[in-house]
Structure 1
Amino acid sequence: MTTIDTTPAVAPAGRRSRKVRIAGWLLTAAGLGHTLGSFLETAPDHLRTWFDGHLWSQADYTAWSDAAAGFWYSAFSFGPPLLLVGVTVLWLERRGITPPLVIAVSVATWVIVTFVASGPSPLPLLLIASGLLIAESRRTGTLAPLPGKKS
Structure 2
Amino acid sequence: MAFIDTTSTPSTSRVWWRDLSAAGGLLAIGGGVFHTVVSAVMRRDVWAQIADDGFFKTISLNPSADQLAAAEAFWFSPGSFGVPLLLLGSLVTWLTRRGHRVPGWLGGGLVAWALLIGLLSGFDGGTFALLTVGGLLAAGGWTSRRRLER
Question: What TM-score bracket applies, with the shorter chain setting the length?
Answer: 0.7 to 0.9
2:25/2:89 contact within 8 Å kept: yes
| Deviation for aligned residue 1:92 | 0.6
Q: Does 1:114 align with 2:113?
A: no
Aligned partners of 2:32 and 2:140: how far apart in 1? Answer: 22
Shift of 1:136: 2.2
Distance 2:76 2:86 in 1: 15
Aligned-residue CA RMSD in angstroms? 2.6
Amino acid at match of 1:30: G
**Alignment partner, residue 104 of structure 2:** 101
Gaps of 5+ in 2: 1-5
Identity across the alignment (%): 27
The gaps in structure 1 that reach 5 residues or longer are 1-8, 143-151
Give the aligned partner of residue 3 of structure 2. none
Report 1:1-151 matches (<5 A).
Answer: 12=9, 14=11, 16=16, 17-49=18-50, 52=54, 53=56, 55-56=58-59, 61-63=62-64, 65-122=68-125, 123-141=127-145
Matched pairs, number: 132
For 2:133, give the aligned amino acid. A
Q: Is 2:104–2:140's contact at 8 Å kept on the other side of the alignment?
A: no
The TM-score, its normalising length taken from structure 1, stands at: 0.73
Cα gap change, 1:11/1:139 in structure 2, threshold over 3 Å: closer, same or farther? farther
